[in-house]
Amino acid sequence: MVWIPRCILAALLCLLVVMILPDLLTDRFSATSAEIQLNTGDLRYLRDDEVVDEQRMPEPYRATVLSASKDSSALKDEWHRCARFPLPSSNRSHRMSQRYYKCAATWIGVDRSVGLLVAEDVARWIETTNAEESGPECIFLIFWVQRDRDGEMFIPDGWKDDEFISEYLRTHGIDG
C-alpha cells in the first residue's frame, strides 16, 4: 500500500467534509417546499414535488383538529403549500402554520365553536395565501393562547370579557 502523508490525507478529508459532502446532502435531502394538511395540521416536506419527509402534528392537537374537521367544510383532507425554501425571511411559515393549528386545538378544548372558527380561518388563510401574506383574521385569538411552565398550551381566564374577542365572535355569529 502506498503511504500518503498525513497532511495530504487531512487536506483531502477537509475538502470532502467542507465542500463536497454538504452539496451531496443538500441535493439529495433538502426540501424545496412544505405543505400542511388542512384537517390535521400535519406537515410534509417536498423536493421538486416529491415527499422527502413528513411530520405529524403532535397529539392530542392532531386528534382534536381532526375531530373538529368533521363539522367543517374548510378543514378538508387536502394538502396546501405553506412554505417555499429557502425561506424569503426569518419567518418560518411552515412551523407558524402548524402552531396556529395547535392554538386552534387549544381553543377547541375550551370552546368548540370558537376553536372551530379559529381552525377554519387558519385553513382558509393557508389555502388562499399559502401562508405567505399577513396572517389569518383570527390572529389575536391565536395570540391569546399561552404556555405554562411545562410547555402545555392554555387559554388564560378572562377571554370571555375581552371586548375585541366578543366583537369578533359576534361578527362571526357566535354569542359570547
Give CA–CA dist 149/85, Å, rounded: 33
Q: Which helix (H) or strand (E) holds 67?
A: helix 61-69
For the chain (length 176 residues), average pLDDT per consecutive 10?
A: 63 58 51 94 93 95 96 94 81 90 97 96 95 89 95 94 93 84
Domain borders along the chain are: 30-171
pLDDT reported for residue 24: 46
pLDDT reported for residue 27: 43
pLDDT reported for residue 132: 85
CB within 8 Å of 87: residues ≥ 6 apart: 93
pLDDT reported for residue 26: 46
Give CA–CA dist 116/173, Å, rounded: 13
Give CA–CA dist 93/97, Å, rounded: 6
Instruction: Read off the amino acid at residue 113.
Output: S
Give CA–CA dist 103/173, Å, rounded: 21
Give CA–CA dist 79/44, Å, rounded: 9
pLDDT reported for residue 84: 87
Q: What is the pTM of this model?
A: 0.81
pLDDT reported for residue 19: 55
- Residue 18 is given by DSSP the state I
State CA 150 to chain mean position distance.
21
Q: ω before 86 within 30° of 0 (cis)?
A: yes
Torsional class of 136: left (φ above 0), alpha (ψ -120 to 50), beta (otherwise): beta
Q: Which of 47, 69, 45 is nearest to 56 (CA)?
A: 45
